[in-house]
Amino acid sequence: MITHGNTQVANNDFSTTIGKEWFDGNKNAVKLIAEGRLRQNSEDLASQLILFEYAMQFMDTDTLKTLIPRIRKTSAAIKTPHFTEQKELLSVALDEIESLLPSVTIEMRNAEAYKGNIKHKPIGSLPIIKALESDALVPALNEAEKVQLLGSSKTIKQ
Report the mean per-residue pLDDT for the chain: 89
The phi and psi torsions of 3 (rounded to 5 degrees) equal: -90, 135
Provide the sign of the torsion angle of the four alpha carbons 11, 15, 17, 18, taken in this order.
positive
Give the total number of structural domains in the chain: 1
Query: In which domain, by residue range, is 61 found?
Result: 2-157
Instruction: Determine the average pLDDT of the residues in 121-131.
Output: 95
The angle at the Cα of 47, spanning 156 to 110, to the nearest 5 degrees, equals 55
- Mean pLDDT for the stretch of residues 42-48: 98
- pLDDT at 5 > cutoff 50: no
**pLDDT (average), residues 56-84:** 96
Distance CA 37, CA 18 (A): 13
Dump pLDDT digits (tens) for 74-93.
999 999 999 999 999 999 99
Q: What is the spatial distance between Cα 25 and Cα 116, in angstroms, rounded to a whole number? A: 9
pLDDT at residue 125 greater than cutoff 60: yes
Q: CA-to-CA distance for 135 and 129, rounded, in angstroms?
A: 10
pLDDT at residue 116, as a whole number: 86
Q: Is the pLDDT of residue 158 over 80?
A: no
Asked whether residue 39 carries a pLDDT value surpassing 80, the answer given is yes
